[in-house]
A and B are shown apart, each in its own frame.
Chain A
């Protein structure tokens, strides 16, 4: 399985943007980049995913490097409800199961 590397933790102030990096230097051409987040005492929830182009949705934006060896999840205006563990996961077109790493714990200061 292709691996991802994320910082253990990140702090942000409320109403400010948060940029969460993810390195995946061994990514293959068919691997999608998925992001999930897990709020305290809850199951993970899907945030966003992409293949090559940058993606935007109501929750976040995903910026993918041109060589696809890294990506950045962008929360445009952090709120206290965005405090969670964010997981960056590679998911190939032939994969059927999702494997979680340690993720990045995001803390949002009021």
Chain B
């Protein structure tokens, strides 16, 4: 089945530094990937839609200059949290759609295991 790999699974960084999280579709091509953020005891909040070869589409209230998204190939999207601060500490999850899963399954998303970011 479709597999999405995220790296790193957890990261601790100092305030003011930048952190890059990678999201890879391992056995399928993904023209679109999605980045979510989840704070403790809360649901997932969609941050942005990553489009291969074009600019990402950000949800309302998400700072595009702070959360840089690059989708340079059909199997890789990266999220860079720039100048991270403690309030950016969260669980970041990416997902992708395997368009090869057929008509009724075309909208099924596969999620990565998540990346836990802690900013000191």
Contacts and interface: CB of A to CB of B under 8 A. Distances in A.
Interface of A: 32, 34, 36, 38, 41-46, 49, 51, 87, 91, 93, 95-103
12 contacts: A32-B104, A36-B111, A38-B44, A42-B114, A43-B6, A44-B93, A49-B107, A97-B46, A98-B34, A100-B36, A101-B43, A103-B43
B113 A98 contact: no
Given A43-B112, A43-B113, A45-B111, A98 B46 contact: yes
A91 B107 CA distance: 8
A99 B95 contact: no
Contact of B44 (A41, A51, A95, A100): A100
Interface string B22-35: 00000000001010
A46 B109 contact: yes
A49 B102 CA distance: 13
A49 B108 contact: yes
Interface residues of B, number: 25
Nearest to B114: A43
Contacts of B93: 43-44
Interface of B is mostly: strand
A102 B45 CA distance: 11
A102 B32 CA distance: 25
B49 interface: yes
Contacts, number: 56
B107 A95 contact: yes
A98 B114 contact: no
B32 A43 contact: no
Nearest to A92: B107
Contacts of A36: 109, 111
A89 to B, nearest CB: 10
A101 B95 CA distance: 17
Contact of B108 (A34, A38, A43, A93): A34
Contacts of A34: 107-108
Nearest to A39: B113
A84 to B, nearest CB: 13
Contacts of A45: 111
